[in-house]
Structure 1
Amino acid sequence: MMASSIELERFYSKEVEFPPPLLASHIKTAEREVHTLLAGMRRILRPDIDPSIQQDIVRTGSSYEGLKVNGDMELDFLIVLSHPEFKFIPMTSHYSGYRNIKAERQPRFPLQAVYTGWKSSSPFHSFEIDFTSDGYLIPSKIYQWFQSLADRAVKENKSKFFTKFVGNYPARTLILNISPGVDICVDLVPAIKIEGDLFVVAKPLKTSPDSHLWRLSFSVFEKKIISQLPSSSCHLKALKILKYLREHDPRLEETSQFASGICSYHLKTASLHLLAQRPDTPEGLDVCLYQLMDFLLECMRRGVLNHFFMGNPSSLARNAKVPNSITHGERRLNLFGGTFMNWSTLNQARERLIRIKRSLSAIIQQHSGLAPGRSPRYNDIAISRYNDVAISRYNDVALLHHGDIVLRRPPSFQNHVPPPQPLQVGNLGGFSQSEARSLMTSQKAAMVTGDPPRVKFAATSEGGGGGLRLYSRCCCCLLLFIVVVCCFGFLWILSTATSVSTAGTTFW
């Protein structure tokens, strides 16, 4: 079922877009806390041993690209490291998208005696001993040092917010609890600048035995391209809608491979390719969104989604000033290749995206009907077999007509709270009979039977929730009342000396 441009615009403004004033406030709060934390980290650095932490932070990620959608508040910062005595030189590796970083002592800093003022179980410490091997920086050692330094600094930092750290390699994620139930997750990623706005981050390749590999980061170039699009761009809105559908798909499909197997970077890469092929035109949001989904589905079918910058000398990359060593000298990197993606996962993600595309109007209505802020979990979904209808939900009971299909899905929590608004439902008109039968079987669907004019009640959650128990009690009371009335009627009929059989037939 196709979704119109007006319907998508409404969905974008009400559900997808993160409120700009709230986003600006969260960014201001997070940046203030990060600067305070980094200042505390600089105070406890070991002189001449630890890398230096530069004053400026590099702001990256969706919140700065204009791609932030409603959901968890997350920010990304590259924390640039250097060392006054060493020059960090990038060296090519056998793996596309990765570099080895050679630490070369600068001539004006001759080899000095080992610093022994820092208290440790070992008396020998230096930058070479602690962070390098065979003259190359080891990303795992840099990350472990950064993690330890951040943990020590956050304990000494007197923040007015409750803060804590969690590991999220290659980032160290700072969680700021700014109010009850409101967290800001800040990813602090140790990085090294190697050329222009090109950085490497401390994330080695898992499938390689080489422990010296640093991954290239193109975040700054991506931000340059995307942030230049106007906020009204259909490319921008389409990408954000698809990103929202992916991030929140577990609310409708708990085992969604589209959410777990595909990441937002895949969506962004597909959108950049499409933007390079078809510049922004006023075609309408619906056209842009379906073009993006079709392009991504074709990439998934072929198992090929090339990195946008590496080996791709496009005009967008040239305008963003991506180094020629990347666009011309680097090998093409397939993000859907076997090194990064499981083929079975990719197929399942594609099948789920096909279903979303076929019933997009119903999908966005279902998302709109869910209460704000609900965690991604299974929810009760009703799909009408014939027409689009809206059903009112009272606890766990839905009022349905003949032909309506109720997908029975148990809630993830015992205290399941149904959405306060009516739940919008779609139809199966876009599916074949076999597909509809398969959907009903796999999702344990139950069809409400009866004559079309009649109305029936159907429980929409397994286990019989509070509404189902209430309904059962009402039925019992009604049955008891009918039995009592029948008994009194039968006695009255006997007292009139009328024929029992005739009276009984007339009554019923």
Structure 2
Amino acid sequence: MMASSIELDRFYSEEVEFPPRLLASYINTAKSEVDTLLAGMRSIQRPNIDPSIQYHIVPTGSSYEGLKVRGDMELDFMIILSHPEFKFIPITSYYNGYRKIKAEQRQPQFQLQAATSWGSSSPSHSFEKNFTSNGYLTPLKIYQWFQSLADRAVNHNKSKFVKKLVGNFPARTLILNISPDVEICVDLVPAIYIGKRLFVVAKPLKTSPNLLLWRLSFSVFEKKILRQLLSSSCHLKALKILKYLREHDTRLEETSQFASGICSYHLKTASLHLLAQRPDTPEGLHEHLHQLMDFLIKCMQKRELNHFFMGNPSSLVRDVQVPNSITQGECHLNLFGDTFMNRSTLSQARERLIRIKRSLPAVIQQHAGPGAIIVAPVYHYNEILHHDDFVSRRPPSFQNWSNVRGQFATASEGDGGSGLWLYSHRCCCLVVCCCCLVGCFCFGLLWILSTAPSVPTVEASTWE
């Protein structure tokens, strides 16, 4: 018997879904604290030299996409920067999904104005000197300035919720203590708006020596798809369950590469591809979850998971009005390629996901805790994933000791020991029950033989 859609729905509502009202409360508190911080940063900026911090900030991430699951409370905000004297022009780079941002001066007298405002003609007090390299905006310089400004603003404007600012390039993380038991981590990422609802963020490609690269952000389009098209869909629930299992997998396997090597963006990308292929499937939650895991395992095996928007002219992408320059002008970007993913890590993550899928009921029970309904893992025809291929396998047989030993070994390998515990538990219970029945039978027989003449007929029903 496998975990049914009803059982998965119960697991989703009781363990996975973040309480909506509580989430909204945390978001409002965090947004207020971020607004206060940014106001403090604006008050100590250098006029005409520092980038301008826009009043419109863009919330991103799972909490705004309907994908937040129970666990650590994290929020993401893109902090939009501009400059009154410069235009920021995106320039296509050699790397797909990345741009260089050219800082083009609007007014020739900018440097003179900046020098006058500081009472010095020193070039050290210029936007170009502080934030650009060869005329291009430098992500690291922007981040270092943003970090310093944020730290000074926090120290200047005390808040009862703000604990500290931490983190390194590319995000500065604001830590909020809402209560002794609740901590919110708010990632603040400097970003540039480049038009057509596209942004670039200060997250350069780690494997590239080019330090001028800014990464394209598609969060606006992802949020639109997930919030409008999947608001009440099994697609969304399946994605959140798999995300929960990934985020908490170190509870069951401390060295899980599925937890550390795979990120939530990989899961979201796989789910979007699957949705584009099968937008109106009538299957229940159980089928959607297994389809998602199968699809992801297949992508891991092929070492190929293409970015959902770049080079993808599908109807789902067109419906959210992604620019043609992205869907047709950009080449496919393989998120599982060697540029982004270590092969050994990907292989280990795949093997772990296979084991999770194979023993999903036991895994869910372990996450749900001792009060959950026990769903015993029983193998089925064509349901066992064995390393590189799908293979057929007979249901468990206990006709001889070799079969018993094989089932124990399979269960132990599949779910980190939980399967072994379940099988051994069943065997112990069976032995105890048999001993009790034999003992009761013998005792009853002796009692009947010794007292048969005096036992009324009506009393016999108490032993039936």
Query: Shared fold by TM > 0.5?
Result: yes
Instruction: Please state which band the TM-score falls in when normalised by the shorter chain.
Output: 0.7 to 0.9
Find out whether 1:454 has 2:432 as its counterpart. yes
Corresponding residue for residue 213 of structure 2:
213
Distance 1:260 1:118, change over 3 A: farther
Find out whether 1:323 has 2:323 as its counterpart. yes
TM (norm. structure 2) is 0.82
Distance 1:354 1:451, change over 3 A: closer
Corresponding residue for residue 8 of structure 2:
8
Instruction: Output one character per residue of 1:166-190: Cα deviation in whole Å (capped at 9) or x when no partner.
Output: 1143211111001002011111110
Partners of 2:181 and 2:145 in 1: how far apart?
31
- How do 1:106-125 and structure 2 match up within 5 A? 106-107=106-107, 110-112=110-112, 114-115=114-115, 124-125=124-125
Shift of 1:99: 0.6
Secondary structure of 2:215's match? Answer: strand
Secondary structure of 2:56's match? Answer: strand
Pairwise CA RMSD:
2.5
Corresponding residue for residue 413 of structure 1:
none
Counterpart amino acid of 2:164?
Answer: K
Partners of 2:109 and 2:195 in 1: how far apart?
23
Shift of 1:229: 2.7
Partners of 1:429 and 1:272 in 2: how far apart?
29
Secondary structure of 1:276's match? Answer: helix
Percent identity reads 71
Distance 1:119 1:253, change over 3 A: farther
Corresponding residue for residue 95 of structure 1:
95
Instruction: Output one character per residue of 1:353-408: Cα deviation in whole Å (capped at 9) or x when no partner.
Output: 111111111111111116xxxxxxxxxxxxxxxxxxxxxxxxxxxxxxxxxxxxxx
Secondary structure of 2:68's match? Answer: coil
- Asked if the contact 2:162/2:174 (under 8 Å) is kept, the reply is no
Counterpart amino acid of 1:140?
Answer: L
Corresponding residue for residue 389 of structure 2:
none
Distance 1:276 1:425, change over 3 A: closer
Select between 1-10 and 299-308 the one with higher mean Cα deviation.
Answer: 1-10
Corresponding residue for residue 401 of structure 2:
none
Distance 1:282 1:119, change over 3 A: farther
Partners of 1:426 and 1:131 in 2: how far apart?
60
- How do 1:119-198 and structure 2 match up within 5 A? 124-198=124-198
Shift of 1:197: 1.1
- Asked if the contact 1:175/1:185 (under 8 Å) is kept, the reply is yes
Distance 1:334 1:230, change over 3 A: closer
- How do 1:275-286 and structure 2 match up within 5 A? 275-286=275-286
Partners of 1:101 and 1:440 in 2: how far apart?
53
Distance 1:451 1:85, change over 3 A: closer
Find out whether 1:45 has 2:45 as its counterpart. yes
Shift of 1:240: 0.5
Partners of 1:279 and 1:367 in 2: how far apart?
30
Corresponding residue for residue 203 of structure 2:
203
Corresponding residue for residue 31 of structure 2:
31
Equivalent pairs counted in the alignment come to 404
Shift of 1:323: 1.1
| Higher helix proportion (structure 1 or 2) | 2
Counterpart amino acid of 2:55?
Answer: Q
- Asked if the contact 1:369/1:423 (under 8 Å) is kept, the reply is no
- Asked if the contact 1:53/1:81 (under 8 Å) is kept, the reply is yes
Corresponding residue for residue 362 of structure 2:
362
| Higher strand proportion (structure 1 or 2) | 1
Corresponding residue for residue 64 of structure 2:
64
Shift of 1:162: 3.8
Distance 1:144 1:118, change over 3 A: farther
Corresponding residue for residue 225 of structure 2:
225
Instruction: Output one character per residue of 1:320-370: Cα deviation in whole Å (capped at 9) or x when no partner.
Output: 111111111111100000011111111111111111111111111111116
Find out whether 1:437 has 2:437 as its counterpart. no
Instruction: Output one character per residue of 1:91-124: Cα deviation in whole Å (capped at 9) or x when no partner.
Output: 011111111100000147554255376699x882
Shift of 1:147: 0.6
Partners of 1:107 and 1:451 in 2: how far apart?
84
Partners of 1:366 and 1:82 in 2: how far apart?
49
Shift of 1:203: 1.2
Q: Name stretches of at least 5 consecutive residues in structure 1 with no aligned partner.
A: 371-420, 456-508
Partners of 2:340 and 2:67 in 1: how far apart?
24
Partners of 2:150 and 2:157 in 1: how far apart?
10
Counterpart amino acid of 1:454?
Answer: V
Partners of 1:422 and 1:325 in 2: how far apart?
50
- How do 1:369-388 and structure 2 match up within 5 A? 369=369
